């Protein structure tokens, strides 16, 4: 990348990082995504991504809730914690804020309960509940 473009990119990332440190959930999500994918300003680091996803999730970002939940379930960037992971995915699924996981979160919960993934006991009633939520979110979208 040309030097001038790098200066602009670095300035923009510093601005995002400043906002993230001030508690802006969208900026915190952006920092987490940069750590997940890596960028000119951030080396890939799942541990740091998980930390920033948690900050954004606590501040109400449903996309961060979903990503944090899946990282916890899979033990990415820290210890595996299936129950907490499912709790975060559930929060994402019930968020009133439209987001990219509006349909994916309830669908994943439905599959987890239908098939007993991750050692969770199969629960047809719970699976059907989340399947219905998926349909409702799809119809609202």
- For 9-31, the pLDDT digits (tens) are 567 888 999 999 999 999 999 99
Contact 72, 85 (CB under 8 A): yes
- pTM (predicted TM-score): 0.88
Q: Is the confidence at residue 1, as pLDDT, over 70?
A: no
| Cα angle: 83, vertex 21, 49; to 5 degrees | 40
CATH number for the domain harbouring residue 90: 1.25.40.10
Q: Tell me if 77 is assigned to some domain.
A: yes
Cβ atoms 62, 91 nearer than 8 A: yes
What's the CA gap between 41 and 38, in Å, rounded?
8
Distance of CA 33 to the CA centre of its chain: 9
CA–CA dist 16, 38 (Å, integer): 15
Domain-embedded: residue 43: yes
How many domains does one find in the chain? 1
- The reply to whether 67 falls in a domain is yes
Asked whether residue 82 is domain-assigned, the answer is yes
Cβ(66)–Cβ(31) below 8 Å? no
Which candidate, 141, 33, 137, places its Cα nearest to that of 94? 137
Q: Which domain holds residue 53?
A: 3-101
Within-domain flag for 126: no
How does the average pLDDT of the chain come out, rounded? 89
Name the least confident of 4-13, 68-77, 99-108.
4-13
């Amino acid at each position: 990348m040309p030097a001038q473009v790098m200066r602009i990119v670095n300035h923009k990332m510093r601005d995002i990082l400043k906002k993230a440190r001030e508690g802006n959930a969208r900026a915190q999500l952006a920092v987490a995504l940069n750590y997940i994918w890596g960028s000119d300003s951030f080396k890939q680091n799942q541990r740091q991504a998980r930390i920033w996803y948690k900050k954004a999730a606590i501040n109400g970002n449903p996309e961060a809730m979903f990503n944090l939940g899946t990282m916890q379930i899979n033990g990415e960037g820290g210890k595996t914690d299936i129950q907490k992971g499912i709790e975060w995915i559930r929060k994402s699924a019930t968020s009133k804020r439209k987001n990219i996981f509006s349909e994916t979160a309830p669908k994943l919960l439905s599959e987890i309960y239908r098939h007993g993934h991750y050692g969770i006991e199969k629960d047809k009633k719970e699976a059907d509940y989340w399947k219905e939520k998926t349909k409702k979110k799809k119809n609202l979208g």
